[in-house]
Amino acid sequence: MAGNSFGKLFNLTTYGESHGPALGGIIDGCPPGIELDLEAIQNELNRRKPGQSAIVTQRKEPDTVKFHSGIFEGKTTGTSIGFVIENTNQKSHDYTHIKDSYRPSHADYVYDKKYGFRDYRGGGRSSARETACRVVAGAIAKQMLKSIEITAYVSSVGTMKLNKPYTELDLTKAELNIVRCPDETMASKMETYIKEVRSKGDTVGGVVSCVIKNVPVGLGEPVFDKLHAELGKAMLSINAVKGFEYGSGFHGSTMYGSDHNDAFNSDGTTKTNYSGGIQGGISNGMDIYFSVAFKPVATLIQKYKTIDKSGNILEMQGKGRHDPCVVPRAVPIVEAMAALVLADFHLLNKIYS
């Protein structure tokens, strides 16, 4: 209810502030008997963690996940899976200067107003550090979903946009560069661009796209819990996200029905896929694809003016180790959230069997 849980049948509840002793979570509803590859789970965390490349924050965190329950002899037992990720690199003293002030476009102000006070060390609960727990749960969901393939990649950084549909890309190349853009030439340009932005102490936004293949027909529920509605909520719940579109998306709103309708082949597949693999909120077996817009990170390594609790105007100097562009690290988070949504509907669909 208070917003720290996601999913109905495959349910993740998380806790943890950026500068507390640890983050953690509980996965409730994971079916029994799933053989877990624990190394693969840690690898997903490593894709997200800070300090992994030259274009992300240089803060170092091992982000090692420890499981406390729900796994026995290498398999899930069907009971709740508890896990913990310790915070090892909390420099609380970095943050005392913001105790009584509000950073622009951060959650400082609204937390203080909503809760009466806040854990002002770093972002507290509003820090994107929280997404580490999502990646753990998403990695388990991926292993449960087996043949369903979820691949996210960076499709734009600032105004640099990869103007190719995913069908013309080799998505396996996304992980070969630090930007996580499957087009090498574009990736190289983006990398240079991000470094330039960082050198100015500035940040820039971007877009992560995601493709899901081998989806069975029938995932998603009609009316309020449409598959794309839950995917949308999942993506919009990631820090810094400003928009979501799937299939033809916003461009689809400019089209005629006679162009947009996806004609059937005799096997039930469709000749085009403007629907984005979802019709009436239910997967139709075609590829699901969607895009997620991220705003530029609000923390700048620049001077800026802001206010304190009493409304006094202050001049502040951003410092610390922050991401100039969030999208490379957001790629595994987008995949994780997609996996959580699919896991939930996968389990729910068993009821119809």
Window 288 to 317, contacts with a copy of itself (CB under 8 A): 293-300, 302, 304-307, 311-313
- Binding of a copy of itself by 126 (CB under 8 A): yes
- Sole binder of a copy of itself in the list 84, 137, 144, 334 (CB under 8 A): 84
Instruction: Find out whether 280 is annotated in a ligand binding site.
Output: yes
Burial of residue 281 (CB within 10 Å: 0-12, 13-18, 19+) is middle
- Sole binder of a copy of itself in the list 9, 38, 171, 178 (CB under 8 A): 9
Contact track, a copy of itself, 330-349, x by CB under 8 A: -----------------xxx
Radius of gyration (Cα) for the chain, nearest Å? 21
- Sole binder of a copy of itself in the list 242, 317, 319, 320 (CB under 8 A): 242
Which lies closer to a copy of itself via its Cβ, residue 151 or residue 248?
A: 248
Say if CB 240 and CB 270 are below 8 A apart.
Answer: no
Instruction: Find out whether 321 is annotated in a ligand binding site.
Output: yes
Phi/psi of residue 210, nearest 5 degrees: -145, 140
Cβ 177 to a copy of itself shortest distance, Å? 20
Tell how far CA 6 is from the center of its chain.
Answer: 13
> What count of other Cβ atoms lies within 10 Å of the Cβ of residue 162?
22
- Sole binder of a copy of itself in the list 37, 42, 59, 104 (CB under 8 A): 104
Cβ 208 to a copy of itself shortest distance, Å? 9
Instruction: Find out whether 298 is annotated in a ligand binding site.
Output: yes
Instruction: Find out whether 103 is annotated in a ligand binding site.
Output: no
Residue whose C-alpha is closest to residue 325's, from 163, 234, 212, 200: 200
Which lies closer to a copy of itself via its Cβ, residue 51 or residue 67?
A: 67
Which lies closer to a copy of itself via its Cβ, residue 172 or residue 280?
A: 280
By CB under 8 A, what part of segment 253-292 binds a copy of itself?
253-268, 270, 274-276, 279-284
Alpha-carbon distances, residue 341 vs 105, 236, 242, 338, 344 (angstroms): 28, 13, 19, 5, 5
Cβ 271 to a copy of itself shortest distance, Å? 9
- State how far the Cα of 53 lies from the Cα of 187, in Å rounded to an integer: 14
> What count of other Cβ atoms lies within 10 Å of the Cβ of residue 256?
7
Contact track, a copy of itself, 152-181, x by CB under 8 A: ----x-xx----------------------
- State how far the Cα of 295 lies from the Cα of 130, in Å rounded to an integer: 18
By CB under 8 A, what part of segment 14-73 binds a copy of itself?
14-17, 20-26, 28-29, 31-33, 66, 68-70, 72-73
Instruction: Find out whether 105 is annotated in a ligand binding site.
Output: no
Cβ 70 to a copy of itself shortest distance, Å? 6
By CB under 8 A, what part of segment 181-200 binds a copy of itself?
197
Which residues lie closer than 8 Å to 238 by C-beta, 6 or more apart?
128, 131, 292, 294, 330, 333, 334, 337
Burial of residue 264 (CB within 10 Å: 0-12, 13-18, 19+) is exposed
Phi/psi of residue 183, nearest 5 degrees: -100, 115
Which lies closer to a copy of itself via its Cβ, residue 247 or residue 332?
A: 247
Cβ 165 to a copy of itself shortest distance, Å? 15
Q: Extract the tokens encoding 168.
A: 């013309």
- Sole binder of a copy of itself in the list 37, 100, 149, 221 (CB under 8 A): 221
Tell me the residue type at 75. K
CA atoms within 13 A on the CB side of 274: 16
Instruction: Find out whether 47 is annotated in a ligand binding site.
Output: no
- Residue 194 three-state SS: helix
Residue whose C-alpha is closest to residue 104's, from 296, 242, 305: 305
Binding site membership for NADP(+): which residues? 48
Known binding positions: 48, 125-127, 239-240, 280, 295-299, 321
Please report, in range form, the residues annotated as the binding site for FMN: 125-127, 239-240, 280, 295-299, 321
